[in-house]
Homo-oligomer: A and B are copies of this chain.
Amino acid sequence: MRFRLDVRYSDYDTKEHVNNAVYLTYFEMARARAWLEEIAGSTDFPFVVAEATVRYRSQARLGDPLDITIWTSEVRTRAWVWQYRIVDARDERLVAEGSTVQVMFDYETRRPMPIPEELRERLAAMREPAPAVR
């Protein structure tokens, strides 16, 4: 899925670009929205984020309209990988990309657990979109 990020003035730092740490918050916003609208709805599938990577490609400057895309690139037994791409919505200029690894987690035993089949199918359905044509 792809949607417009609601960038806040406080996201920018003294260099007049989005601060590097804020990108993980943008990724989290994408996860929350994908989870709500494409994956789980009100069903609870507990997971933890085990790893996150951001590659900064160009600056997101004051006022740049940013679109984020999230998709699934891999589904393993107990974990899956989400990919993210953030672009300037005006010209598809790549601003940042990255990924996070999620592990299905049983909060009672505090151990990883297999991904339920129902979730596996929905995750797999979140495919990488074709690139926007300008």
Contact = CB atoms under 8 A, between A and B. Distances in A.
Interface in A27-56: 27-29, 32, 48-56
Interface string A75-88: 00000000000000
A14 B8 CA distance: 12
Contact of A28 (B14, B16, B20): B20
Most B CB atoms within 10 A — which of A16, A25, A62? Answer: A25
Contact of A14 (B20, B24, B62): B62
A51 B8 CA distance: 20
B56 A53 contact: no
The A contact surface, by secondary structure, is mixed
Interface in A1-27: 6, 8-10, 12-14, 16, 19-25, 27
Contacts of A48: 56
7 contacts: A10-B21, A14-B14, A14-B16, A20-B28, A48-B56, A52-B54, A53-B53
Interface of A: 6, 8-10, 12-14, 16, 19-25, 27-29, 32, 48-56, 62
